[in-house]
Amino acid sequence: MKPPRKSSGFILLAAIALLPLVSIGIGLLTRYTHFLIEQTQYRTLQAEARNLAFSAHTWVCLHKQELLAAPPQQTWTLEPDSIPSAQGCCRITRLSGQTHAVPVELEAVAQIGRRKYTFRQLLILTR
C-alpha cells in the first residue's frame, strides 16, 4: 500500500492569485469596449449628417431657380422620411449676396439620444 500524498495546495493558491489579474483584464477590456462603442456612435452621427447635407445639396440643385428668386435669409427645412439610426433635419438658408452669385448655407443636424452632430456647408449658386 502506498502512503497518501501530501497535497501542498499550490494549484489552489495559483488560482486564487490569478483571480485579481483576470478581473483587472476584464475591467480594461470593458472600458476599451465602451470607448469603441462611443466612437462608433460618433462616426455614425457624422456619416448621417453628411448624408443629410448631400441630400440637401441635391435638393438645392433641383430647386435652384426657386432659391435664386427667394428673398435673403429665407430658410427651408428638410426632414427626411427615413434615417436608419438617427433623427435629423437639414436647414437651407439663402444668405444675402450679390445678384450674380447667391450664397446658400446648408446645415445638417443628426441626433442619436442626447448626442448631436452638425455639418455645415456653404454653396455659391450662380445664375
Q: Give the model confidence (pLDDT) of 63-80 as tens digits.
A: 888 888 888 888 988 887
Q: Phi and psi at residue 58, in whole multiples of 5°?
A: -65, -40
Total-model pTM: 0.69
pLDDT tens digits, 34-56: 999 989 989 988 988 888 888 88
Query: What does the mean pLDDT of the chain come to?
Result: 85
DSSP class of 7? P
Residue 49: phi, psi to the nearest 5? -65, -40
Which pLDDT score is estimated for 23? Answer: 93
